[in-house]
Every structure is written in C-alpha cells, then in structure tokens.
Amino acid sequence: MAMAGGGASLHLINKPTIPPMACAPGTIQLPEKIRNSKVLVLGGTGRVGGSTAISLSKLCPDLRILVGGRNRDKGAAMVATLGGNSEFAEVDIDNVNSLEATLNDCDLVVHAAGPFQQTHKCSVLEAAINTKTAYVDVCDDTSYAQLAKTFKDRAVAANVPAITTGGIYPGVSNVMAAELVRLARSENKLEPERLRFYYYTAGTGGAGPTILATSFLLLGEEVVAYNKGKEIKLKPYTGMLNIDFGRGIGKRDVYLLNLPEVKSAHEILGIPTVSARFGTAPFFWNWGMEAMTSLLPMEYFRDKNKVQQLVQLFDPIVRALDGFAGERVSMRVDLEFPNGRNTIGLFSHKSLSVSVGTATAAFALAVLEGSTKPGVWFPEEPEGIAVEAREVLLKRGSQGTFNFVMNKPAWMVETNPKELGLGIYV
Ligand SMILES: NC(=O)c1ccc[n+]([C@@H]2O[C@H](COP(=O)([O-])OP(=O)(O)OC[C@H]3O[C@@H](n4cnc5c(N)ncnc54)[C@H](OP(=O)(O)O)[C@@H]3O)[C@@H](O)[C@H]2O)c1
C-alpha cells in the first residue's frame, strides 16, 4: 500500500527545495526515504508517458518505474528501453478494479493516458485518492482540469498530494507565469495587467496520435479568455498574431485555443487579461485548422468518433510531413504592465516529445520530494509547487533547451534588431 512507503506521506517530508546531492553526472540523488519509490506511468507506452518514464529513470535510476497501458507488446518494448528497474502493468483506466489494484502498490501515478478532452470522469485521480497514491496528470483540457479540482477536499481528507496540468504546456508554462508575476510584484513593485501564453510546435512535435486528436477536439471548444477581468468567449483558431519566439524558432503565427492555464492563471495569479495561442508548422497546417473551424460546425469536433476518423485520415500525412517539419517546441510567456513595460519567459527545445517528458518528470519529482500539499492543485498554486521549489522545477524542466530565458524584456530575446532610439540598434 502506498501509504506506508511514500504516497500520502510524501508531503510530510516537507523539504521543497532539496538540492541535487553529489551523484553520477546527469542524475539526481533522492533522499533515502523516497529513492526507491514506485511510480506508475499511465500511458507509459505512448509518447508523452514513455518520454516521462525515460526521463525519470535517467534522472533517478533507483526509482521503480511501472509502465501502464493496455498493449503488452508496446509495454515490453518500453520496459526493454528502460531496463532493470522497470516493469509493465496491463491496466485500462476505464476499469476501476484493475486501476486500483495496480495503484495499491505505487507511491505516485503519472497520468498521461489521454486524450483528456471530452472525458467526463477523473477515474485515475479518484483511484489515486481511494488508494492514497500521489498524483500528477498532463491534462491539457479546461473542463477536465476544473473537474479534477472538484476532488480537492477528498484529496485533502485522504492526505493525497495531486497536481493537474503538470506537463510542459500547460505545466512548466504555468510555473514560468507564476514566477514572472511573483518577481514583478516583489522585486519591481509592478502590478501586471496582461498575461499571454504563446506556444509553437512544429508538426506534431514527435508526439503520438493522441495529440492530433487533441488538436481536433480543441476546435470543438469555445475559447475562454479574460479581458480586463471579464470572461469572454471566442472562436477557436482565430485572433492570429505573429510572435517572435527568439533564436532558433523566429517569428510564427499563433491562434487562440481553449487551454486550461488561461482560467487557472487568471484566477490564481489575479491577472485581469489572459489568453493563450498556439501555432504549428508547416504554415498550411494552420490554414487547414482555420479552414476546418470555418467550414465544420463546432459540434463535429465534439464527437470523439468523428475526430477519430479525422485522425485516421490525417495521421499518415502529418507523420510524413513531420519528417520535414522537425519537432521543435517553443513557449513564450508575456507579462505586460500598464506603463507599457513587459517581461517575458522563453523556452525552446528541439523536440516536444523529449521536453514534455523532462517537464513531466520535474513535476513527478517535486511531488515525490514533498513540494505539494494534500489536495488537487494547478502548478502555479503555491500549494501545488511550493514557491521555494519553483526554481528547481524550472531548472529540471528546462533541461535540454537551446534557449531558456526568464524575466527579460521582449526586445532582449527577439530576433529582429531593435532601435533603442537615436538610431542605436541592439
Ligand atoms: N500538458 C502537456 O504539456 C501535454 C503536452 C503534450 C501532450 N499532452 C497530452 O498527453 C496525452 C498523451 O499524448 P501522447 O502523444 O503520449 O499520446 P499517445 O502516444 O497516443 O499515447 C497515449 C497512451 O495512452 C494509453 N491509453 C489510452 N487509453 C488508455 C486506457 N483506456 N487505459 C490505459 N491506457 C490508455 C495508450 O496506451 P495503450 O494503447 O498501450 O493502451 C497510449 O500509450 C494527450 O492527451 C495529450 O493531449 C499534454
């Protein structure tokens, strides 16, 4: 039972900023009490879960990794990649009994068995609470994340720490936003008025077929954004902006999408105007998404079966073009102030499928180390990732980036030379 070894007792360790101790290069020495924790990665046979399992086992070779999924062959292949300290567990998240039986023996579950869109029950979170197992998901859907939040009191009563939306975006991007806001308020004594999340991923970013389904399912959701404190609803894949993601990525078109970090950041960080935009490459995928949004009714994208047919139709073409598009990913988080000043965070990596695993592993380790209080939290909540633990999380989560910048004015990271005035360019 997770209760004894780790799981519910993890938060009691209460050492949120445990620095990496001396150990083999590229690895983290976890404290004795949690070094051999057992982590179930659901969706561990997929791209995001698989990448998380690989990252966890590289960073902390003593962790015991349980790869969870429905397909034994894919499970065996992942276990062969991970080596000694891993096993496969055949588990279907829709089968509560098999889920709870597997969780009974685990300290932490990482839920990456998406899609989260159009999923109306949090079966893994409920099972985690029932079995007193710590929990992280990589949910990227607003309704699902809000539903997960309704389990907060039950998680508190069961002494279970849980984080929802703990991947790269949302996930690391939320923590970047929280840090920018904290620094603005504490060091610069400035009150931000606008927060904007911009994301770019080439092709599918090397992620699995589920990510394609996710993109189509998001076209069935009205975009929730906030303008001067008021909630507004907008059409998906509209409101295009051309954003400079800095060196290695350059300027990219991005479009409005309904993403959970908009609501959570507005409510938790208290910023009056918040929105999120996403763009992909090659450019005609953006045009295709725009065209589909105009031509097909939103109800079409809410039907999981229809979306599955679209995925089957487009997946081979998308995969073929992925070879040319690459799988770069970039996130830019912009914070603006009433005086016209801004400060930004930037994260660019050559591979989404690698960096999403690194990011999710950083959340998993933070929970294991006791940085998360009992309850269900978003990453930007101090009870989710303690303020003192954010720096370590960002350091771990940004490993492998070719450009990671925090708290700099936009002109310092953009690719075009800027005129400072009087003909002086930088
Ligand atoms: N927050 C973030 O930063 C972020 C970023 C990227 C993606 N995501 C989300 O991550 C999720 C996974 O994406 P992916 O690219 O890894 O997809 P994927 O490669 O298709 O993997 C999905 C995995 O889920 C497993 N799965 C599906 N239904 C299951 C069920 N009923 N029971 C047990 N396992 C089940 C599948 O395993 P079997 O088929 O072997 O059973 C598969 O391994 C998506 O929902 C995506 O939106 C989040």
Transcribe 53-75 into DSSP letters: HHHHHHH-TTSEEEEEES-HHHH
The response to whether residue 138 sits with its C-beta less than 6 Å from ligand 1 reads yes
Given phi > 0 = left and psi -120 to 50 = alpha, else beta, which region is 149?
alpha
Residue that the structure tokens 């070094």 belong to: 35
Residues 365 and 245 in one domain: no
- Residue 183 C-alpha to ligand 1 middle, in angstroms? 35
Residue 241 lies in a domain: yes
- Residue 266 belongs to a domain: yes
Task: Indicate if 127 and 220 belong to the same structural domain.
Answer: no
- Amino acid code (one letter) for 176: M
Using a 6 Å cutoff on CB, does residue 379 contact ligand 1?
Answer: no
410 vs 253: CA distance, rounded Å: 17
What local confidence, expressed as pLDDT, does residue 1 receive? 32
Question: 251 and 137 in one domain?
Answer: no
Residues 219 and 321 in one domain: yes
Nearest CA to ligand 1 atom 44: 114
Write the CATH number for 246. 3.30.360.10
Write down the pLDDT at residue 187. Answer: 85
**pTM (2 d.p.):** 0.91
- Tell the residue nearest (CA) to atom 21 of ligand 1: 46
pLDDT tens series, the chain, 426 aa: 333 333 334 443 344 444 545 577 789 889 999 999 999 999 999 999 999 999 999 999 999 999 999 999 999 999 999 988 999 999 999 999 999 999 999 999 999 999 898 889 999 999 999 999 999 999 999 999 999 999 999 999 999 999 999 999 999 999 999 999 999 999 888 899 999 999 999 876 666 677 778 888 889 999 999 999 999 999 999 999 999 999 999 999 999 999 999 999 999 999 999 999 999 888 888 888 888 888 888 888 888 888 888 888 888 877 777 777 778 999 999 999 999 999 999 999 999 999 999 999 999 999 999 999 999 999 999 999 999 999 999 999 999 999 999 999 999 988 875 655 555 545
Q: Which two tokens stand for residue 210?
A: 């589920």
Atom of ligand 1 nearest to the CA of 207: 15
Q: Where are the beta strands (DSSP E) in 350-398?
A: 375-377
Asked if residue 271 belongs to a domain, the reply is yes
Q: Do the Cβ atoms of 171 and 340 come closer than 8 Å?
A: no
| Ligand 1 centroid to residue 50 C-alpha, Å | 9
DSSP string, 343-358: EEEEEEESBHHHHHHH
d(CA 419, CA 58) in angstroms, rounded, equals 45
Query: Do residue 370 and residue 298 come from a single domain?
Result: no
Is the C-alpha dihedral spanning 189, 190, 196, 198 positive or negative?
A: negative
* CATH code where residue 86 lies: 3.40.50.720
Instruction: Report the alpha-carbon distance of residue 39 to residue 263 in Å, rounded.
Output: 30
How far, in Å, from the CA of 146 to the mean position of ligand 1? 19
If you measure from the C-alpha of residue 187 to the centroid of ligand 1, how many angstroms do you get, rounded to a whole number? 40
Let me know whether 71 and 201 are in one domain.
Answer: no
Residue 409's alpha-carbon distances to 155, 334, 390, in angstroms, are 40, 9, 21
Q: For residue 346, which amino acid is it?
A: L
- CB-ligand 1 contact for 89 (6 Å cutoff): no
Please tell me whether residues 160 and 221 are part of one structural domain. no
User: 382 and 336: one domain?
Assistant: no
**With contact defined as beta carbons under 8 Å apart, do 372 and 128 qualify?**
no
Same domain, 345 and 358: no
Decide if 19 contacts 369 (C-beta within 8 A).
Answer: no
Q: Do the domain assignments include residue 179?
A: no
> For residue 172, which atom of ligand 1 is closest to its CA?
3
Identify the pLDDT of residue 134.
98
In the prediction, which pLDDT does 3 show?
Answer: 34
For the chain, how many structural domains are there in total?
Answer: 2
| Residue to mutate, 48, 99, 264, ligand 1, most ligand atoms under 8 Å from C-beta | 48
Helix (H, G, I), strand (E, B) or coil at 274: strand
Residues 64, 154, single domain; the answer is yes
Spell out where 228-282 has E strands.
230-234, 241-244, 251-256, 273-281
Question: Does a structural domain hold residue 298?
Answer: yes
CA proximity to 407, closest of 167, 166, 178, 200: 178
Is any atom of ligand 1 closer than 6 Å to the C-beta of 48? yes
Please indicate, yes or no, whether residues 158 and 204 belong to a single structural domain of this protein. no
93 Cβ inside 6 Å of ligand 1: yes
Is there a domain that residue 174 lies in?
A: no
Residue 337 placed within a domain: yes
- Do 43 and 103 share a structural domain? yes
Asked if the structure places residue 330 within a domain, the reply is yes
Residue numbers of the domain that contains 39:
32-169+353-399
